[in-house]
Amino acid sequence: MAELRWNPLLKDWHMIASNRQNRPQMPKDYCPFCPSFGNVPDYEVMEYDNDFPALTQNPSEPDPVGNEFFKVAPNYGKCEVILYSPGHTITMPQLSDSHMRKLVDLWCERFSKMAEDKKIKYVFPFENRGDVVGVTMPHPHGQMYGYPFIPKRIQVEAESAKEYYSKNGKCLFCEMLNQEKKAKSRIIFENEFYTVYQPFYTDYPYGVYLIPNRHVAYLTELTDAEKDALGITVRDTVGMLDSLFDDRFPYMMCMYSAPVNAGDYEKDFHYHIKFFPPMRSAEKQKFNASSETGAWANCNPTCPEETSKELRAAYQRYLQNRPAQNQ
């Protein structure tokens, strides 16, 4: 069973993908993303079609369980795996500047390709890292989904941005960045093209945003220099998190461009990346329990102004110890 089901309370589509429940357990010493096992060719970075996609461009008809009230729709869309490196145990902070640029170019290429499909309304690159967030394949990789709808969280943020622009004549994200730069206390690090900071309202103890200093609505609108810097800034953000507790830090990295094939968002939506690291200390996980999950009432058990100090110190440790090829 693989289909979309409409939630009338949230006015949102939910993906039902029971085919993913039957994913096989990989043999202990086998990795489908390592060229040495023959499943993929030699590569530096590579797109790999998901073997068990929640969304597909050739969907079957939904099961006959819907009616006029319980709406169903085909699970149309695209699910891809983005392979970062052929090295099975390599981490992103070990990748060179030039390698990271290749990864950024692949993100852009696959984003553009998905957006060509007029049925796709939102393209979402992301990465899940670590056992804590359910990763079963340690080989360095991310994913990219193309949805036939605008997911609720993005829809709410896009509507807020449009409303703010309509009232104030400027980008909401740009104004948030300006306010954070004025406050200074939550800025982690910045360069010519990007700023990494903990937002005023962050809901995760070490959750950070990465945002271009220049207003762009889409990843694909970045200049060559901005693409070079994006790879380096993403890598150095991961290195900072790894330096926090001197361990490979788990996170969910989410990349937000404006919706595609769904109207004009050029002036009011601002491309950005959010990191959601589910740890509140080296040993303790931050769980999204009843308040967060049942009421969407987020609670951060730490103070962003204080955790920002920890992250700034972690970033300095990372700079002192990063591999020579990354400098």
Catalytic annotation, residues: 141
Question: 90-128 b/e with 16+ CB inside 10 Å = b?
Answer: ebbbbbbeebbbbbbebbbebbeebbebeebbbbbbbbb
Cα–Cα dist 140/127, whole Å? 9
Of 83, 85, 92, 45, the closest CA to residue 239 belongs to 92
Of 216, 240, 202, 253, the closest CA to residue 322 belongs to 240
5's enclosing H/E stretch is: strand 2-7
194, 211 in Cβ contact below 8 A?
yes
Residue 22 is encoded by which pair of tokens?
Answer: 């039957």
Neighbour tally for 267: CB within 10 Å? 15
Residue 34 is encoded by which pair of tokens?
Answer: 């390592």
43 Cβ neighbours under 8 A, 6+ residues apart: 35, 83, 86
Cα–Cα dist 9/130, whole Å? 33
Tell me the CB-side half-sphere exposure of residue 158, using CA atoms within 13 A. 20
Tell me the CB-side half-sphere exposure of residue 97, using CA atoms within 13 A. 9
3-state secondary structure of 276: strand
Provide the Cα torsion 143, 149, 154, 157; round to 10°: 160
Amino acid at 77: G
